[in-house]
Every structure is written in structure tokens, then in C-alpha cells.
Chain A
């Protein structure tokens, strides 16, 4: 694994915009093609195998949480428990997730966290870096079959979606809207009927959730976290609505940092895990404290003997978990994190590609930059 400096393509801004990445420079550039990461085929195989194994371990951890009713410990409100358990039993359609992995080419990738409810950086990983590869390094390889896998999965899921239709919702936020537009695009290419609208335009007619045109909703993809939905005004209707939500409610367990100590308990010393606990380790160790429901690196405390570093934010009221400090390696002063995408849950065949975000600090935040990759 190497970080290689490169000349950006002429008019790279227009090129990534043509791929839908219209939020490439929100102040400081978010998309950065003045460098790329190069992997060996063996390193890609290692990353692929790690994601496949972690996916199965994560599903086992969900089963453990449900069997042992660890909801309160994970900050899951009591009202959401029936939604979680019913969706786990019914196995409704489920699409994707992104493992964030610490990896530097040596040793095993280590799981930092998993977002399988509302993961983003999808369009960048699936499309923008693919177009970059075709433009800048034609003939080279990229660990990226995300686009094809999404279309293939929608085709598999189609019989489970009433009327062969799914509607897409998000906040009225450019990145969210474009991410959802991309997923809608893949659904249309799979032959589904679809539309999209802001999530606050979902209606409740007293018995059903309805679209802005009053049409009853059957299946809805929502880029909006379950932990927010269940606490909002319409959260009380979720159980009775009959809507198939993608992602399903049990996914809120996968996107909860409480998953980390559960996985460590089930798979202690697994090479792809960092030791994690509910209680603070000794102060003479190096560890990271993460809010159970934290997002985008907010309210993370990085503890080393002799000093702490903490990011700002508004999370933590729900509690924290502790995780051993990952051995992140700096490449040219940058700390990369591998976003490893899984599409579907098929055992041994979930891993679909990677996207890399790098930061000046060893915590990935909303200021991190997306950097493309290739391999031989």
C-alpha cells in the first residue's frame, strides 16, 4: 500500500461533477486526486476477505444483542425494540454497509466501526473514483464493483418490494440528495419504479405513510438514521405502517458503537478487531472513546498516557464505548481509513469495493478528504 502524488486531471472539478460529485469543494476540497493509493492484489484480497468475515461476525453480534436484550446498554429506546426484533425475524430487504478499517498494508485490517444504516461516500467510491481510474490510469485495476453489485441486488430484491417500486427519501442536503439520487439511479437500472422526495414530505394519513402526492408508500429507502426516526413525531407509527424500510430497523444495531464490545466479546483477539469495552481501560493504555450514536467523528476522545485529544460535537448523552487505539500509519502526513463496502449479506460474497478518506489527524471527520485508489 503506497500513497503516490499525482497531477490532478485538467478540469477535475467538471469531471467529478459529471459523476454526480457536486460537493467536491465545500470550502476545502473534499475530493483529492493530487494523490492516490496503490495496492497490491494481495492487499486487496486481504481487505476483501476481512470485509466478508466481519460481515458474518457483525450479523452474529446482532443475534447476540437480540438474544441477550442488550438494548438499554446500547441506548436503544424501548419503543424501538419491537421494530428491531420484528425486522430481524422477517428479514426484509437490506442493501449495504460500510466498514471503516484501519489498514496500512502490514498486518490485518482492523475494524474501527460499521455504518450499515446510513453510510455515505458511496457515489465517490462507486462512480467518481471509477471515472478517475478510466481517465487517469486506464488498464489498471480498482477494487470496485459497487455499481454492478447494487444493480444486481436491486434485481434480487424486486420481488420483495410491493409493485416493484421503491421511493427514496433524505434530508434536503446536497450530499444526501445526490447519494440517494445515485441509489435511485441504480434501482431504475434494475427495472424498479422509483421516485425521491425530502423525508419531511412523508405524510401520515391516520393509517398509512403516504408520498407527497398522497399515494400510500410501500417500500422506502431512507438516508436518515433509525435512532432519529424512532424519536420523532412519526416514530410512533413505524410499527403499524406496514412500510418496508430500507435499511430495516435491525440495522440500527450495526451502526451503534455498542456493536464493538459485543463483537470483541464474541470474537476475542480476532485479527480484524480491536479490543473494545463498555468501561474505560487503564489510563496507562492508549484508547479511543466513542459515543454510542456518534457520527462523522464527533465527540471522539483519543487517549494516550500523558494527554487526550477530543473532537467537538453534540453526541455522548447516550453513553460511550472504548476501543484500543488503532495502529494508524501516516502516509505523507495523512491518516487514511479504508471504507470497505458490502452489498447484501451473502456469506463470503458481500465485499464490493473500497473508498479511502484521509485526514491530517488520526480521526476521520467530516473534514476528511476522499482519495482514489488502484491496484495491479
Chain B
């Protein structure tokens, strides 16, 4: 088979809309408490797409949270790069 049939996307469309919204000129007086992670959560919620990020935990490379989970152990090499090729 050399052809796809109809292609319908939901997550991609929602992500694309969110990305374009972030590229738009900034809205005046954005609430100080609104962080990018929270924006992503809201966009996912609005689009009905899955979202499991724990917004507000303040991810820092190599840090260990109070409950003993360390994060930031992957991703250091890719800072400023694409992981794709």
C-alpha cells in the first residue's frame, strides 16, 4: 500500500494551537502565578488530552525532592539541541 487514507489528529492539533498561542504577542498583565507548565496543563485540559506533568514542583536538574525522587538525570546533553535527527 502506498497511500494513507484520511488522517485525523487531535493531540497534534491541540498542541499546535497551544504552540501558536505562545508565539502570539504576549497578552497584557498575565497572572504572575501562571507558569508555562500550568499553561500546558490548561491547554491539555481544554483539548481533552492526557497530561501528567506535576506543575509547580520546580524541576531542577539533578535535584532530589523531599519524597526521595530525583529528577533531571536525563536531558543534560540535549540542552539547547534537538534530540531528533
Q: Which residues of A contact B (CB under 8 A)?
A: 17-20, 22, 44, 48, 115, 118-120, 123, 126-127, 130-131, 141-148, 167, 169-171, 173-179, 181-182, 184-185, 188-189, 193-206, 210-215, 222-225, 228-229, 231-234, 237, 255, 295-296, 353, 366, 375
Q: A195 and B85: CB pair below 8 A?
A: no
Q: B13 and A18: CB pair below 8 A?
A: yes
Q: B76 and A233: CB pair below 8 A?
A: yes
Least CB distance from A336 to B in Å reads: 18
Given the known inter-chain contacts A178-B15, A195-B50, A199-B74, please indicate yes or no for A17 contacting B20, CB distance below 8 A: yes
Least CB distance from B63 to A in Å reads: 10
Q: How far is the CA of A117 from the CA of B63 in the complex (A)?
A: 28
Q: A148 and B84: CB pair below 8 A?
A: no
Q: Chain A: which residue is nearest B14 at the CB level?
A: A181
Q: B9 and A228: CB pair below 8 A?
A: no
- Total interface residues on B, CB under 8 Å, equals 45
Least CB distance from A152 to B in Å reads: 10
Q: B84 and A119: CB pair below 8 A?
A: yes
Q: Which residues of B contact A296 (CB under 8 A)?
A: 82, 85
Q: List 13 A-B contacts (CB under 8 A).
A: A20-B13, A120-B82, A141-B2, A144-B4, A147-B4, A148-B5, A171-B75, A182-B9, A184-B11, A196-B50, A200-B59, A205-B67, A211-B52
Q: Which of B4, B50, B70, B81 has the most CB of A within 10 A?
A: B4
Pick from B12, B75, B85: contact of A232, CB under 8 Å: B75
Least CB distance from A94 to B in Å reads: 17
Q: A181 and B12: CB pair below 8 A?
A: yes
Pick from A147, A171, A196, A212: contact of B82, CB under 8 Å: A171
Q: A232 and B3: CB pair below 8 A?
A: no
Q: Chain B: which residue is nearest A225 at the CB level?
A: B83
Least CB distance from B15 to A in Å reads: 4
Q: Which residues of A contact B71 (CB under 8 A)?
A: 200-204
Given the known inter-chain contacts A17-B20, A144-B2, please indicate yes or no for A295 contacting B7, CB distance below 8 A: no
Least CB distance from A303 to B in Å reads: 23
Q: A195 and B73: CB pair below 8 A?
A: no
Convert B48-85 into 0s and 1s, putting 1 for each residue whose CB lies closer than 8 angstroms to a CB of A: 00111110010101100101111111111111011111
Q: How far is the CA of A146 from the CA of B70 in the complex (A)?
A: 37
B30 at the interface (CB under 8 A from A): no
Least CB distance from B44 to A in Å reads: 9
Q: A167 and B52: CB pair below 8 A?
A: yes
Q: B16 and A22: CB pair below 8 A?
A: yes
Q: How far is the CA of A196 from the CA of B52 in the complex (A)?
A: 7
Q: How far is the CA of A127 from the CA of B50 in the complex (A)?
A: 21
Given the known inter-chain contacts A131-B7, A233-B62, please indicate yes or no for A224 contacting B75, CB distance below 8 A: yes
Q: Which of B1-41 contact A (CB under 8 A)?
A: 1-5, 7-13, 15-16, 19-20, 23
Given the known inter-chain contacts A144-B3, A144-B4, A233-B62, please indicate yes or no for A170 contacting B83, CB distance below 8 A: yes
Q: B15 and A177: CB pair below 8 A?
A: yes
Q: B3 and A145: CB pair below 8 A?
A: yes
Least CB distance from A351 to B in Å reads: 9
